[in-house]
Chains A and B, each alone.
Chain A
Amino acid sequence: MAIINVQHLTKTYVSYKKEPGFLGTLKSIGRREKKIVSAVNDISFQIEEGEFVGFIGPNGAGKTTTLKMLSGILWPTSGEATVMGHVPWKREARFQRNFAIVLGQKNQLWWDLPAHDSFLLNKEIYEIPEKEFKKRLKQFGELLNIGHLFTVPVNRLSLGERMKCELINALLHEPKVLFLDEPTIGLDVVSQKAIRDFLKKWNKEHGATIILTSHAMADVEALCERVMVIGDGTLKYDGPLEKLVQSVADHKEITVTFTEPVRRDDLKAFGRVDRHSSLQTTLHVSRKDVPVVAKQLLEKFAVADLLIEEIAIDEVIRQVFKQ
């Protein structure tokens, strides 16, 4: 049975238009033009226990709004959803004890105090036994290599260190369902990788169900076997990441490194030349022609290395939204 079940979920907002400037402000006091914005429009899906699912789509696509409804932050306009058998927006304690949400752009930690003080508050909120609390904190500290910074005020930590502490704060009660909204936003590549590795390990060891929204496609590629592409509030694709890539990208990229210089014109017969320098080229080759072209390249040129890759996931997403 699915741990997350969503049926025809819809969320619309009412906002008011206002013309710019002083006159516009005066007019808006008298009469305002109502605008109905559809943030999420009739989305349905199921997620099984232990799945790590990526929500991808451009800004304003409806990813975060969906997560907020599944967290119980927002009431939907229509539709139904259950998470672990609970209707999230009923905000039942039994549901809240088993789930957590991390919003990458919002702090849950007390800004001017060391993270440890926020952890202590969560210990009381989730009634974590003292012994267990200490054990988990030690484990998290070691796993994320951050334990030595638990006593430093949060406002003195780097963005990466802060995000690690935010994650610990959210995971201390070992939730069965975790929603992550842009957890690596603004982080350097080293911190991004550390967070990714940690999440992967945590998902595997605890069997937690995780939904991740991220603009960093490396996050999605590294962590999610299944992706949901959301655009204009609707679900555009739901399935394995691999299948999405194959269905959208009818070609692959062959990057060849030569031992001696090769002219661009000599490569045109093999496919579209995307990038070229005298000793390296990247060719855009139709998926079905890849084996033949690779063989021909090896026969015709002095090749030091040959790499066949799917096109970048960012490009795949761009293609989806172009369609």
Chain B
Amino acid sequence: MGVKRYIRLFRQAAVNRFALYAASRADLVTFIFGKLLRLGFFVILAVSLFNHTNTIVGYSEGQVLMLFAMMNMIDMLTQALWYRGMYNIKDWIRRGKFDMFLVQPVSPLFKTAAMQLDLFDFITLPVGIAYIIVAWTMLPTQPTLLMAISAAVLFLFSIVIAFSINLCMASVAFWTTENESAWALYRDSVYVARFPIEIFPNGFRAFFTFVIPVLAIVSFPAKTLMGLASPHVLLWGAIIAFAWLALGLTLWRAGLRHYTSASG
């Protein structure tokens, strides 16, 4: 019953946000154009690079495209499902608007993340899926069924990791109300993850794979599909995902308790 209620809520919030965007058609056109342009830019970049060389640090054209397609899909889902609310929370906290998230019988986390959903974020989803299919067909070795299942599980772990990292960043806003640079760093790091991680120094790579796992988010599922992942990748993925989820939820609960509202 609880789940059904949350689905209805999710749907109604999505309908309201759709109405908001639809109210300004000029914004809508710019929004979609911007999204498609961003998707196109990387393909142009990749094609240009491979016109001059056959591999990048040993990765073929198809493998590089798979890294990009995986980053793009995770980024797309992140944007669509929770990023907007978690990013905006610092402003709601500063202005005291978050008060209203705490007085209704709905999880404040659900209200923060999922109820800010925008259906237009899904417009580019088919393009994202198409990228994965094209990259898949261009891989030098076709993935086995086991590799595909492992990659799907790791993809889910990646979603959990991305959500948890964002949740930690959103929670910090209860104390600082200003963490713009942390969000900028996160986005830059995720964009960096679309490149083969071998181009980075070892220490950097280890830090951003196991400690702040922004590189793992993309490389774990993508490299599994390429047959380049370590045999323990599933275990690592699970450990990192659950550890970050636990950290995120703990910080979030502490933040809700610490919330001081704003006067006026």
Contact = CB atoms under 8 A, between A and B. Distances in A.
B171 to A, nearest CB: 16
B227 interface: no
A301 to B, nearest CB: 50
A106 B23 CA distance: 23
B260 A13 contact: yes
A255 interface: no
B105 interface: yes
B250 interface: no
Interface string B225-256: 00000000000000000000000000000001
Interface in A101-155: 101, 103, 105-106, 108, 110, 112-113, 117-118, 120-127, 153
A108 B263 CA distance: 16
Contact of B9 (A94, A100, A124): A124
Given A120-B12, A121-B12, A124-B12, A73 B103 contact: yes
SS class, residues of chain B in contact with chain A: helix
Interface stretch (B80-88, B92-100, B135-143, B152-160): B92-100
A94 B261 CA distance: 23
Interface string B1-31: 0000100110011011001100100000000
Given A110-B20, A112-B20, A71 B103 contact: yes
A251 to B, nearest CB: 36
Contacts of B259: 73-75
A117 B18 CA distance: 11
B16 A68 contact: no
Contacts, number: 72
Nearest to B115: A121
A64 interface: yes
A176 to B, nearest CB: 14
B16 A106 contact: no
B38 interface: no
A93 interface: yes
A117 B16 contact: yes
A60 B97 CA distance: 19
**Max count, chain B CB within 10 A of own CB: residue among A91, A125, A126:** A125
B199 to A, nearest CB: 37
A101 B19 contact: no
Contact of A110 (B9, B16, B99, B258): B16
Given A93-B105, A125-B106, A73 B99 contact: yes
B102 interface: yes
SS class, residues of chain A in contact with chain B: mixed
B16 A121 contact: yes
B16 A73 contact: no
A295 to B, nearest CB: 51
Given A110-B20, A113-B19, A121 B9 contact: yes
B85 to A, nearest CB: 14
Nearest to B20: A112
Interface string B140-173: 0000000000000000000000000000000000
Given A73-B261, A75-B257, A106-B100, A97 B9 contact: no
Contacts of B9: 121, 124-125
Contact of B23 (A73, A105, A112, A127): A112
A72 interface: yes
Given A73-B102, A124-B5, 15 more contacts: A68-B261, A71-B103, A73-B103, A73-B259, A75-B259, A91-B256, A100-B103, A113-B19, A113-B23, A117-B19, A121-B9, A121-B12, A121-B13, A122-B104, A124-B8
16 contacts: A74-B260, A75-B258, A75-B259, A97-B105, A100-B103, A101-B103, A103-B99, A106-B99, A110-B16, A117-B19, A121-B12, A121-B16, A122-B104, A124-B5, A125-B104, A153-B23
Interface of A: 13, 60, 64, 68, 71-75, 91, 93-94, 96-97, 99-101, 103, 105-106, 108, 110, 112-113, 117-118, 120-127, 153
Pick the 6 closest A-B CB pairs, nearest first.
A93-B105, A96-B105, A124-B12, A124-B8, A124-B9, A73-B99
